[in-house]
Structure 1
Amino acid sequence: MKRLLFTTLVFIAFISCKNEAKSKQTEDTGTSKTEERTDKQNDGLTLLKGQFVLYDGAAVLQTHANIYGLFITDKLKELNQLAEKYKKEPTDMVQVEIRGKITNQKDEKILWENKVEVAEILSVNPIPKDENNVVKLGEQ
């Protein structure tokens, strides 16, 4: 009987120590995730890659999943100047990679549901010829 009681106590002590170690480990990993994040990941900006065009005062960014209206700011004007190098016509789109703040706030000029304020320009490239599916009407 004493052996059974002793074995039970050892078994209970072993199980409680094991659970305590697991809970400490999950607490440690929870704090390390926020410490491992970079400043760029904590600034509230989103990385967006897609096709950009600014035409007649309206700026649009088309990603693989969504279409965004872009707020006209100094950073957007800078992006357009970089994009002009790759355009043959004013309506041509350019491949861009930006970081910006996405919002759904109402705006009287931008009627797209999703809007972006450009905060950082990462890259500007021409669209590869095989992806340029523009249909042009009229005589050539």
Structure 2
Amino acid sequence: MIRSTYLTVIFFFTFSLAFAQDFTINGSVVDENNTPVVLANVILMSEEGEFIKGTVTNDQGDYRIHSIAKGNYRIVASYIANTVESDLLVVTSNIEMPPLVLQSAQELDEVVVTQNKPKLEQLSDRHIFNVENTAISDGDIWDV
């Protein structure tokens, strides 16, 4: 009795694995000059934007994502500040993607960093509240 139960469970488990289909997506990531991008992040996302799987590109800019079930997905590739997203993929078989082209990042002419004086300073003998960067500074001394 126990032996036949084990055989039945093994049979159904093997049968379900035989019909499970997993697919592979292959592709590459290049820059605007068609140069392979090494170690770019490649993410497989669901239609809703949920993370499914991820990988990085090899020395030739190629990537491979294994064991993907049938469904609708998007591929997102990024490298430092550059990102590119593919159109909707319908996975029903193995897919060879066209190269994903990363656009160059924008270069800024100038960056200005400002810092305001802290509102509360603690000295050894007193606390000082600076009102110059608050809404109170718009009024007169009696508002403070």
TM-score (normalizing by structure 1) = 0.31
Higher Cα radius of gyration: 2
TM-score (normalizing by structure 2) = 0.30
Which has a greater percent of helix?
Answer: 1
Which has a greater percent of strand?
Answer: 2
